[in-house]
Amino acid sequence: MRRFSVTAGSVAGIVLGALVLAWPRIRDADASVSIPVTFEDLVQRASAAVVVTPLEQYGVWEDGRIATYTHVRVERRVAGRLTGEVWVRSEGGSVGNIGQLVEGEAAFAMGKASLVFLHPHGGSASATTFGVVEGAQGQFPIVTLGRASPRLVASPSLGGILPSSSTQPLARDILVDVSLEEAATAIAAAWSHWHSAGQGAR
């Protein structure tokens, strides 16, 4: 009978090999570096600013890349007229055992609320699918753990951000690490200035 000597290193190699074979394939999209968005630009380009909670999502192939569609419920309308439930499209995600990571894109976790600045996907005012303005820079997860009131934090999928030379306040300076109520007040004030009458929060 032939005997085989199995070392700790070979065991580790076997286990690692099995994990690699079993693990879903993840493809990194091209790395990106974003220009910091100003608060003014975020408000101007959005058709609504709302607090949403994801309900379901799925990934599909579109033009050789993966896009994720997330069905969200509007929990609070901060500005604009969006209510009810809508679909939000973002780049990246997974289809079957293939995944694509896109830095700087908004990413939704099931059951986790975010304040998002939305605009119609494709530019149509009658669209039923929306995108997040400036991706992760237009998404602010809401945290409550250990805090007296809900607060906004920066999206964990921001990716690389270039230094800013803008003289205007950046969105992150106005909205990150502030209470949801403070953020809503700031957004409503800016919205009434940059959008036509009747489009502000009610």
- Bridge partners (DSSP) listed for residue 143: 151
List the pLDDT tens digit at each of the 202 positions of the chain: 333 333 444 444 433 343 333 444 545 445 567 788 999 999 999 999 999 999 999 999 999 999 999 999 999 999 999 999 999 999 999 999 999 888 899 999 999 999 999 999 876 666 789 999 999 999 999 998 776 789 999 999 887 877 777 788 999 999 999 999 999 999 999 999 889 654 444 3
Distance CA 137, CA 20 (A): 33
Domain 27-194 has CATH 3.40.50.2300: no
Query: Against a cut of 0.85, is the pTM above it?
Result: no
Question: Domain map of the chain by residue range?
Answer: 27-194
DSSP secondary structure string for all residues of 136-174: GGGEEEEE-TT-SS-EE---TT--EEPPP--SSPBHHHH
Residue 26 to residues 33, 94, 99, 102, Cα–Cα distance (Å)? 20, 8, 4, 11
Judged by DSSP in three states, 81 sits in: coil
Residue 20 to residues 13, 33, 117, Cα–Cα distance (Å)? 10, 29, 38
